[in-house]
Amino acid sequence: MSTLLIHHPDYAWLQELGLCEENVGMYNGNWPGGGQASMEDYEETVKEAKEAWKMWAEIPAPKRGEIVRKIGLALREKIQVLGKLVSLEMGKILVEGIGEVQEFVDICDYAAGLSRMIVGPLLPSERPGPCSHQAVEPVRPAVTKVLAKVLEDNDLPGAICSMTCGGADIGTAMAKDTRVNLLSFTGSTQVGKQVALMVQERFGKSLLELGGNNAIIAFEDADLSLVLPSALFAAVGTAGQRCPSGRRLFLHESIHEEVVQRLRGAYSQIRVGNPWDRNILYGPLQTKQAVSMLVRAMQEIKKQGGTVVYGGKVMDHPGNYVDPIIVTGLAH
């Protein structure tokens, strides 16, 4: 009996996205064999993308904007299943998975508007869009299929939006490749530093979306009815696995104890479980490696004299679940 999700009745919707048992690791206007892409695949894909760019660059901006608008419409049609796939791959609750796709749609709408301006401002974003080459996580083949169909239906080469799914070797090649005019990277600060250095060595351009150390500051006259839910969701949304996640809370000493105790009570009521359940707020971490990193972080917190007010333990629950955590007493 197959253990692949695609054969399970609860995951039949994966086939709506064109996914199968072994999904293609590259797209350059054609869908070759499945599995991860090789360096030879990468070279071929970049070559095809550069050729496709020549055609894309010759199209007037308003017509390019119309293509991008159609991409947005195609994504809207599949927003529920694509959002569900994001949730499945990442572990974030369903409404946030759908929100990720909606953000892509919104950017398409915005870009379509910019295409009709005499002077169009630059639109930096980590979201892929024509003309681009992607070396990314498994959810992207499904998105690439949507984009490719729109391009091909409009008699344009699908290689305008190419894809290579691979490991660190592919990422390193992209960072060092002088044919890649702008490299966008979303990931950890540690890897982002390496990417920035490799791109800078060739005097290239990079756009880095890295981890944050975001803080919320509450003064003595703060409205706690706003502070508490804002701080809670900023911290536990996507189980803290997003760039804008709240990591630090600076409180005036006169409200410190009240806020900590009320947050502790709120954390104890957080509903944890299957992120597809609309009553759930807090899903799993993405990988077992993330769980191990959190365990090590908790050990370091205690070494530095921090006090664990709530959570900090791996949950006895199938999957990569950990308790949400509140820590006080650390030096800033």
Q: Is 209 a catalytic site residue?
A: yes
| Beta-carbon-side half-sphere exposure of residue 108 (alpha carbons within 13 Å) | 22
Which among 266, 243, 283, 252 has a CA at the least distance from the CA of 326? 266
In contact, 176 and 203? CB cutoff 8 Å: no
Q: Is 244 exposed, middle or buried (0-12, 13-18, 19+ CB in 10 A)?
A: exposed
- What are the residues facing 184 on neighbouring strands? 207
Cα Rg of the chain, angstroms: 22
- CA distances, 317 to each of 250, 278, 287, 322 (Å): 32, 19, 14, 9
Q: Regarding beta strands 132-134 and 161-164, do their DSSP bridges make them parallel or antiparallel, or are they unpaired?
A: parallel
Q: HEC string of 214-245?
A: EEEEECCCCCHHHHHHHHHHHHHHHHHCCCCC
124: left (phi over 0), alpha (psi -120 to 50) or beta: beta
DSSP strand E in the chain: where?
26-27, 132-134, 161-164, 182-186, 205-209, 214-218, 246-251, 307-310, 326-328
Helix or strand run (H / E) with residue 39? helix 39-58
Count of alpha carbons within 13 angstroms of residue 50, beta-carbon side: 12
- Indicate the Cα dihedral angle 265, 266, 267, 271, nearest 10°: 130
Catalytic-role residue among 209, 253, 257, 258:
209
Q: Which two tokens stand for residue 131?
A: 């003309």
Catalytic residues: 209
